[in-house]
Chain A
Amino acid sequence: MSWGVETQGIFGRLPIDQDFDNLIFRKQGSRWLSTGYHVLTLESRGVASLVVAARHPGLDVALLSYTNDAYGTTGVRLYVRGSGRFYWRTYQDAYPLPANGWGMIVYSASGKQTFHSDHRYADVKNSRYYIGSSRLPMRGHYYLLNSPATPTFEYETQNNSWYYDHRSWEQTGTRQVYRQVYEYNCRYEYVYDYSSGRYVNQRVCGYSYVYKWVTEPTYGYVVVGYTVHAEAKVLCTKYITLVRHHADDYVSEIRHRTHNRATAYFWATSYYDSVSPAWNGESWVYHQFNPAYQGHLKWLASPSYAGITGHSNKLVMLR
């Protein structure tokens, strides 16, 4: 550094010189939030390079994205768990202020104002590679609202197929049975008739038992066809990562599962066929699955799509 102010602190060199370009405080606010998805508009017109910092004791918060217009950032989309007050501050690039009153101004050689003590400059208090489940003390500071919230998608495919028979009760054949049967038989006898005083030849009928071979039908269930069901499912487990700001002013990271093996895609078919399906070692495949299904879901077989994750960010605390 060729001019300016330099302080040697325990955290390192602090030069306020011609290259100084700390972010400056812009404004702050708070809003009561409860569990759910929220869009917070912080600026009526977008600000380029706007940095958003947050505190939310007692709440779990995930930054989903910034909202923006043609000029820059206008706000944030958040997912919140719990209910409580969310405090935010915004920071932006420094801009020159008029030189009046008291304080200190630093200019570069070209006359650009690089420091003005009337600005409230961002001051990093701590930083950590993403905190995980460990607890990091906030000590009243804000942290840069970053996006560990990147959703994580884990997919699982399930194919299932089964069939059942269609049966009909019908005659399947005949069999010979040797059985006792009644037989009706008649004969003529001479019977005395008192009215006429004569014997008359009269027909007399009756039953008798006989054993003989008879043919009778046999019945049984006959499989006349098959109904084949096939279904394919994609199950998805989805997580977002939240920053938990404990009421005692520590922060830690928690993973929040928004969907647990929920069906994200379902395809099913059912058809009748008179020919028996075949076991292919995995499922009862009769016809190939719907080609459309195969086209849509082919990518899931690729290991690179087993899960979709973003990257983790560093946590930076500001004052």
Chain B
Amino acid sequence: MSFGIQVRAPGGDVTFELTSRLTTLIMSRVVGRNDSGSARLNIPGTMDFVAQAIPLDGDQHMRHVPHRLTYTASTRTLSWAPAISSDAQVSELEAWASPRRSRSRIVVFGYMPEAS
């Protein structure tokens, strides 16, 4: 270990080690299948972040589409909107070919960027 923090038990076992970067959960939020909206992200200045929209609905047809995320750097705003405009327009297709809107859990983590 060249940097970071280690905590050892009296026997010498490493019980805790943190060597590189933080992970901070900046946002975790469930949005409804038809919802769109935006939020300002409060990301600590030295941190990078990752935003994911994870679908919460699913079936064996593998057709649920989570929200589309857009980040505006100038305003630090994360926006989300359903990735497909309407369920109804594709409802006539076979189930496997018919995308469905899904509720999404939007998760934003902050972490220290890697050295480059």
Chain A residues engaging chain B, CB cutoff 8 angstroms: 5, 7-16, 19-23, 37, 48-49, 51, 63-68, 73, 77, 79, 91, 93, 102-104, 117-127, 144, 146-147, 149-151, 153, 155, 234, 236, 238, 240, 258-259, 262-265, 296-297, 299, 304-305, 308-311, 313-314, 316, 318
Q: Which residues from A are CB-within-8-Å of B20?
A: 9, 11, 14, 123-125
Q: List the 6 closest pairs (A to B, CB-CB), nearest first.
A: A264-B97, A65-B58, A65-B55, A236-B97, A9-B3, A117-B7
Asked whether, in the complex, the Cβ of A23 is within 8 Å of the Cβ of B25, the reply is yes
Selected contact of A265 from candidates B50, B57, B92, B105, CB within 8 Å: B92
> Once the chains bind, are A11 and B112 in contact (CB under 8 Å)?
yes
What would be 16 A-B contacts, judged by CB atoms less than 8 Å apart? A8-B3, A11-B112, A65-B56, A118-B15, A121-B16, A123-B19, A124-B111, A144-B109, A147-B54, A259-B97, A262-B97, A264-B94, A304-B85, A308-B65, A308-B99, A318-B23
Tell me the bound Cα distance from A258 to B98 in angstroms.
14
For B105, what are the chain A residues with a Cβ–Cβ distance below 8 Å?
Answer: 66, 68, 73
A153 touching B99, Cβ below 8 Å: yes
Q: What secondary structure prevails in chain A residues at the interface with B? A: strand
The reply on B115 being an interface residue by CB < 8 A is yes
Give the shortest distance, in Å, between A266 (CB) and chain B (any CB).
9
CB of B65 within 8 A of CB of A64, answer: no
Does B35 sit within 8 A of A, measured CB to CB? no
Whether B22 and A63, one on each chain, are in contact in the complex, defined by CB atoms closer than 8 angstroms, is: no
- Contact residue range for chain B? 35 or more
Contacts of A19 in B (CB 8 A): 44
Q: Which of B21, B51, B58, B92 contacts A12 (CB 8 A)?
A: B21
Question: Which of B3, B16, B66, B109 makes the CB contact (< 8 A) with A10?
Answer: B3
Contact B83 A311 (CB under 8 A): yes
Min C-beta distance of B108 to chain A, whole Å: 11
Cα of A64 to Cα of B64 in the assembled complex, Å: 8
The reply to whether A11 and B93 form a contact with Cβ atoms under 8 Å apart is no
Given A236-B97, A258-B62: A11 and B54 within 8 A (CB)?
A: no
Interchain CA distance A119-B102 in the complex, whole Å: 34
For residue B10, give the distance in angstroms from its CB to the closest CB of chain A: 7
A20 to B84, CA, bound (A): 38
- Kindly state the separation between the CA atoms of A103 and B15 in the bound complex, as whole angstroms: 9
Q: How far is the CB of A157 from chain B (nearest CB, A)?
A: 11
Write out, one digit per residue, whether chain B residues 33-71 have a CB within 8 A of any chain A CB (1) or not (0): 000000000001010101111111110101111101100
Q: Are A311 and B112 in contact (CB under 8 A)?
A: no
Give the residue name and chain of the A residue nearest to B44 (CB): A19
Chain B residues, CB < 8 A from A77: 58
Could you tell me the distance between the alpha carbons of A89 and B63 in the complex, rounded to whole angstroms? 26
Whether, in the assembled complex, B77 has its beta carbon less than 8 Å from a beta carbon of chain A, the answer is no
Contact indicator A305/B58 (Cβ below 8 Å): no
A127 contact from B28, B52, B60, B114, Cβ within 8 A: B114
B55:A147 contact, CB within 8 angstroms: yes
The distance from the CB of A54 to the nearest CB of chain B, in whole angstroms, is 13
Which of A64, A147, A262, A265 is most buried by chain B, counting CB atoms within 10 A of its CB? A64
Please determine whether A102 and B10 come into contact, CB atoms closer than 8 angstroms.
yes
The answer to whether A150 and B85 touch across the interface, beta carbons within 8 angstroms, is: no
User: A305, B54: Cβ atoms under 8 Å?
Assistant: no
Q: Does B89 contact A (CB under 8 A)?
A: yes
A8 neighbours in B (Cβ, 8 Å)? 3
Q: Using Cβ atoms and an 8 Å threshold, which residues of chain A touch B66?
A: 65, 147, 150, 310
Pair A9/B23 contact, Cβ less than 8 Å: no
Closest chain A residue to B109, Cβ basis: A316
Chain A contacts for B112, CB-based, 8 A? 11-14, 124
A257-B15 Cα distance, complex, nearest whole Å: 45
Report B50 CB to chain A, min CB distance, Å: 4
